Structure 1
Amino acid sequence: MPDSPVFPPAVVAAVLSHMNSDHADDNLLIARAFADPAAAACTMTSLDGEAGYWSYVVERTGGRHERDLRMPWAAAITERAEIRREIVSLYDQAHARLGTTPREH
Structure 2
Amino acid sequence: MSTPFTADAVEAIKRHMNDDHAGDSLIIVRGMGGRPEATSAVTSDVDAEAITFTIDGGEAVRVPWGETLTERAQVRKAVVMLYRDACGRLGLPARGEH
- Please give the TM-score of this superposition, normalised by the length of structure 1: 0.85
2:85 is equivalent to residue 93 of structure 1: yes
Scaled by the length of structure 2, the TM-score of the pair is 0.91
Residue number in structure 2 paired with 1:74: 66
Q: Percent identity?
A: 36
Match of 1:21 among 15, 19, 26: 19
Unpaired runs of 5+ residues, structure 1, are 58-64
State the AA in 2 paired with 1:30. I
**Cα distance in structure 1, aligned partners of 2:64 and 2:36:** 19
- Secondary structure of the residue aligned to 2:39 is strand
Q: Which runs of 4+ in 1 moved over 2 A?
A: none
Secondary structure at the aligned position of 2:58 is classed as strand
Aligned residue for 1:46, secondary structure, equals strand
Query: Between Structure 1 and Structure 2, how many residues are aligned?
Result: 96
Q: How do 1:1-105 residues align onto structure 2 when only pairs under 5 Å count? A: 2=1, 4-33=2-31, 34-57=33-56, 66-105=58-97
User: How big is the alpha-carbon RMSD for the aligned residues of Structure 1 and Structure 2?
Assistant: 1.3
Tell me how far apart the structure 2 counterparts of residues 53 and 95 of structure 1 sit (CA, whole Å).
18
Counterparts of 1:29 and 1:73, CA distance in 2? 15
Counterpart-to-counterpart distance in 1, 2:66 and 2:36: 22
Higher strand proportion (structure 1 or 2)? 1
| Gap runs ≥5 in structure 2 | none
